[in-house]
Amino acid sequence: MKLFKFCCAVAGLFVSLTYAWADSVNPQTLRIEDAFVVFYQGETPGAGYMIIRQMTNEDDQLLSVRLADQQNSCVRIELHDHVSEKIDGHDVKKMVALAAVTVPAASGNGPGLVAFAPGGKHLMLYDFPKSLKESKKITLILTFKKAGEMAVDFEIRTPSTLAAKNDNKNNCGCCHHKD
Ligand SMILES: [Cu+2]
């Protein structure tokens, strides 16, 4: 079952994402779908995934992500990607931190799209307290250069659901820091 979540920070009830309403500083210009996080045992950082769709003809940039709950100030969230590097003739996937992620403009083919998915771009979630890891969802604030801030609910899923989803992809769904 595929459960899409459309989370808009402001007036998420307005389904009509028409261009008449579109404005470069309006969070309704962006749609976040299928947002979820996975936490691991112990100190291993968690990972966050989502699909961002840009509904307007302008691109935008995701600049940062933070936890909505300000009380957990030790929590840190980074934007990451996987890159391939040749080491001794072998392709080795490495994680790199990104300063920003571009969300391309919508085109004739539909909304601009950037996917945070296992094996590719992801949110890296550091130092989350146990109480949050064991809850059902967390709310993260996404800050975009043009659209501003959006509050997005991320469902908390178990690592096993992630592994099952990626069985046919033959890439590592887990996200452990090697360095
Ligand atoms: Cu990472």
Rounded Cα distance, 129 and 82, in Å: 26
- Tell me how far the alpha carbon of residue 120 lies from the centroid of ligand 1, in angstroms: 9
- Tell me how far the alpha carbon of residue 109 lies from the centroid of ligand 1, in angstroms: 30
- Tell me how far the alpha carbon of residue 15 lies from the centroid of ligand 1, in angstroms: 33
- Tell me how far the alpha carbon of residue 45 lies from the centroid of ligand 1, in angstroms: 8
- Tell me how far the alpha carbon of residue 26 lies from the centroid of ligand 1, in angstroms: 29
Torsion from C-alpha of 17, 20, 23, 27, nearest 10 degrees: -20
Q: pLDDT at position 8, please?
A: 31
Q: pLDDT at position 66, please?
A: 96
Q: pLDDT at position 164, please?
A: 65
Structure tokens at 86: 């040749």
Structure tokens at 5: 């979540």
Sign of the alpha-carbon torsion through 160, 166, 167, 172: negative
Which residue, 105, 123, 25, is CA-closest to 67?
Answer: 123
Sign of the alpha-carbon torsion through 161, 165, 167, 171: negative
Distance spanning both ends of the chain, measured CA to CA: 36
- Tell me how far the alpha carbon of residue 123 lies from the centroid of ligand 1, in angstroms: 7
- Tell me how far the alpha carbon of residue 131 lies from the centroid of ligand 1, in angstroms: 22
- Tell me how far the alpha carbon of residue 46 lies from the centroid of ligand 1, in angstroms: 8
- Neighbouring C-alpha atoms within 13 Å toward the C-beta of 7: 23
Domains of the chain, first to last: 27-164 (2.60.40.1890)
- Tell me how far the alpha carbon of residue 104 lies from the centroid of ligand 1, in angstroms: 22
For the chain, 179 residues long, give each residue's pLDDT as a single digit of tens: 433 333 333 333 333 333 333 333 345 689 999 999 999 988 899 999 999 999 999 999 999 999 998 887 789 999 999 999 888 899 899 999 999 999 999 988 889 999 999 999 999 999 999 999 999 999 999 999 999 999 999 999 988 877 766 554 434 434 444 33
